[in-house]
């Protein structure tokens, strides 16, 4: 945290059902859930969306469904952020740039300005993602009112190298929008908790719910603190999961167990 930072951030995770291949319906549905989130008594400072919320995994039609340059997505999310004075970590959408499709997160500040763009760098072969999408090539951090945040998407969380890279760049919170299905709930909870503990950072993970073909997505969106304690967890139904980040806690945890001072990087294999 840097000087002048907000000491606490209220988070709202939009744990939504996503209709496969229906960007219009999904956009309207998520907009309605976001309106509900900002009308709560405890207003969120940050709204987080799930992975691929515009199209779901309609990969065989992704060329026609993806948002060209993300223009429509950016316009809508920017407008919402500005209208309600809220940060948005926009999950991810299928974004078309030239003839390439990316699985991309956009982040907006309270003024509606875009503050980050991250494209998923580890594509999930179990769902043939690599046959249809291009991988991002760059790790991304962004600022949330003095709290440095790192971007990742779903399968990325299986690669501790990415979250450690982000932590070494100063990130104290890791965002993980996802479409993570049964039967791997145990992996989801364990990997997210491990990333929080090993990097002494908050982990904020927003997963979709509902069935798509044979695949059942389980929700269980999670807010985990830098000790690995669960602050909030969704069930398997559609819901808005809320919790509060104490921006001073990552620093306190690092002070108690000096993991980052005790690293021996010169001994690690490259
Ligand atoms: O790693 C997993 O088990 C799930 C990953 C996934 O579904 C994705 O990256 O879309």
- Atom number of ligand 1 nearest to Cα 154: 9
Q: Is 188 in the pocket of ligand 1 (CB under 6 A)?
A: no
- Where helices occur in the chain by DSSP H, the ranges are 23-38, 62-65, 71-84, 129-132, 160-168, 185-199, 249-256, 259-262
Number of domains in the chain: 1
Q: Which of 175, 185, 163, 183 is nearest to 234 (CA)?
A: 185
How many whole angstroms separate alpha carbon 175 and alpha carbon 89? Answer: 8
Looking at the domain assignment, is residue 219 inside a domain? yes
The pLDDT tens digits for 92-142 are: 999 999 999 999 999 999 999 999 999 999 999 999 999 999 999 999 999
Output the six-digit token pair for 230: 């669960």
Catalytic residue among 51, 95, 129, 179: 51
Looking at the domain assignment, is residue 48 inside a domain? yes
Count, residues in the chain: 270
pLDDT for residue 4 is more than 80: no
Q: Percentage helix, strand, coil, to 5, in the chain?
A: 35, 30, 35
| Cα(129) to centroid(ligand 1), Å | 10
Looking at the domain assignment, is residue 267 inside a domain? no
Q: Which domain holds residue 96?
A: 8-257
Looking at the domain assignment, is residue 187 inside a domain? yes
Q: Would you tell me how many other CB atoms lie within 10 Å of the CB of residue 140?
A: 20
Percent of the chain scoring above 70 in pLDDT: 98
Q: Is 184 in the pocket of ligand 1 (CB under 6 A)?
A: yes
Catalytic residue among 96, 120, 148, 254: 120
CA nearest ligand 1 atom 1, residue: 155
Looking at the domain assignment, is residue 113 inside a domain? yes
pLDDT for residue 54 is more than 80: yes
Give the CATH number of the domain where residue 47 resides: 3.60.110.10
120 is catalytic: yes
């Amino acid at each position: 945290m840097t000087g002048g930072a907000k000491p606490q951030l209220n988070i709202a995770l939009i744990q939504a059902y996503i209709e496969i291949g229906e960007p219009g319906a999904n956009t309207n549905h998520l907009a309605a859930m976001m309106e509900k989130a900002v009308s709560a008594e405890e207003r969120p400072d940050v709204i987080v969306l799930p992975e691929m919320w515009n199209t779901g995994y309609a990969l065989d039609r992704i060329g026609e469904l993806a948002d060209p340059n993300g223009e429509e997505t950016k316009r809508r999310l920017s407008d919402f952020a500005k209208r309600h004075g809220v940060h948005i970590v926009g999950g991810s959408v299928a974004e078309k740039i030239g003839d390439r499709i990316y699985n991309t997160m956009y982040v907006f500040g309270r003024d509606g300005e875009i503050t980050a763009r991250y494209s998923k760098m580890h594509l999930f072969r179990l769902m043939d993602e690599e046959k249809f999408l291009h991988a991002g090539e760059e790790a991304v951090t962004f600022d949330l009112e003095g709290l440095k945040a790192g971007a990742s998407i779903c399968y990325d969380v299986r690669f501790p190298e990415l979250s450690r890279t982000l932590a070494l760049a100063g990130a104290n919170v890791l965002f993980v929008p996802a479409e993570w299905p049964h039967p791997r709930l145990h992996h989801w909870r364990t990997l997210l908790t491990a990333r929080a503990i090993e990097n002494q950072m908050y982990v904020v993970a927003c997963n979709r719910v509902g069935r798509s073909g044979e695949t059942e997505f389980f929700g269980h969106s999670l807010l985990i603190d830098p000790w690995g304690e669960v602050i909030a967890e969704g069930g398997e139904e559609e819901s808005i999961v809320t919790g509060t980040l104490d921006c001073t806690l990552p620093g306190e945890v690092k002070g108690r167990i000096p993991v980052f001072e005790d690293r021996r990087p010169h001994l690690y294999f490259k």
